[in-house]
Amino acid sequence: LIPERGVSYYGVYDPVAAFRDFEKMKDDGLNAVLVAVSEFDYWFWKGAIGDVLAEAKRSGLSTYLDLWGWGKVFGGEPGSLFVQNNPGDLQVSSSGSSIPAACVNSGFRTFALEKLEAICREFPFDGLFLDEPHYNFDREAWGCYCERCRALFKETNGEELTGEITDKFLDWRENSMLRFLSDLVGVAKAQGKDVTICMLPFEGERRRLAGAPGWEQISLLEADVMATDPYWIAFGEPMEPFVVRHTRRVLETCASTGTRSQIWVQLFNVPAGREGEVAEGISLVEKIECEGKKVDSVFGWPYAAGRGSVLASDDPELVWKRFISALAP
Ligand SMILES: [Zn+2]
């Protein structure tokens, strides 16, 4: 049995309804939940979210909180109020157009750190989840070439930032992201929260264009759990090599840092007829061993296989059944 078995959860602001769902998760053999909180959720449903998190704790589940889609720097479907309200703090492309995502060297940095500090202080939960930190990776418009970034680049490298994609620029950009993540980790740790960092399963040029730091750099942060989400269906990859390669990378990193490992399994948009792959993927993840380390935690995204949402699998009930019977036979 994989020690930690969980699922992401969102969109429910009624603590009574949430408690029923948490009890159902426990009956299904899960012992952890990740509550995904968008900027809008935090602003609009603040009181209710505190109560929902308290119910998750009360039900005995390990409880994590995800800054879902914040600034569009973190992964997820929700829009960002910060992006909507702060046009001067957005990423800027090399041609000068603004990109609908916050620049990590802008006011977003202070915004995110202050909100996180309040979230950690006010809400009951065990760990913070930093999901898929990335820059916009649309090849037509990618940054960041805003005035702040230009000035910082010049200060660090002693030369002007050109519009070209150089290794120096890509390294500098990853370092900017790393500093931002390091500050967030520091805030959460100071408040006694565990931290999980989940990196996109990108490699080589794709990772560089997404501005996502590599595992060597991520391993320097004082996180407690290293995670990745090799969603083979969403990324159109063959399951076995994709899942094995990315799980091994996480395990290698954890072996060197002594951190725990977490792998995410896709429960969203699973096409009819492919439900069995959910169980196959989990059994694959369970078997992988690297330097004596095995995966400590498996999570599925999202609860009830996205039933009723844009992420709904064709047969959400069947996907959920495959998921729980593979995790907690
Ligand atoms: Zn910038």
Ligand 1: distance of its center to the CA of 153 in Å? 10
Task: Read off the pLDDT of residues 11-70 as tens digits, 9 standing for 90 and up.
Answer: 999 999 999 999 999 999 999 999 999 999 999 999 999 999 999 999 999 999 999 999
Q: What is the mean pLDDT of residues 104-121?
A: 98
**What's the CA-to-centroid distance between 222 and ligand 1, angstroms?**
25
DSSP 182-211: HHHHHHHHHTT-EEEEEE-S--HHHHHHTT
Average pLDDT over residues 210-217: 95
Q: What is the pLDDT of residue 2?
A: 96
What pTM, to 2 d.p., does this model score?
Answer: 0.97
C-alpha of residue 289 to centroid of ligand 1, in Å: 40
- 106 CA to centre of ligand 1 in angstroms: 6
Average pLDDT over residues 279-306: 97
Q: 28 CA distance to ligand 1 centroid (A)?
A: 45
| Averaged pLDDT for residues 212-227 | 96
Angle ∠(233,235,241) on CA atoms, nearest 5: 80
Average pLDDT, the chain: 96
**Cβ atoms of 149 and 82 closer than 8 Å:** no
What distance in angstroms lies between residue 73's CA and the mean position of ligand 1's atoms? 12
Residue partners of 20: CB distance under 8 A and separation at least 6 = none
- C-alpha R_g of the chain: 19
Residues 161-172 pLDDT 10s: 988 889 999 999
> In which element (H, E) is residue 70 found?
none
Dihedrals φ, ψ of 328, to 5°? -130, 70
Report the separation in Å between the CA atom of 79 and the middle of ligand 1, taken as the mean of its atom positions.
Answer: 19
Q: Could you tell me whether strands 297-301 and 260-266 are parallel, antiparallel, or unpaired per DSSP bridges? A: parallel
Confidence class for position 221, pLDDT limits 50, 70, 90: very high
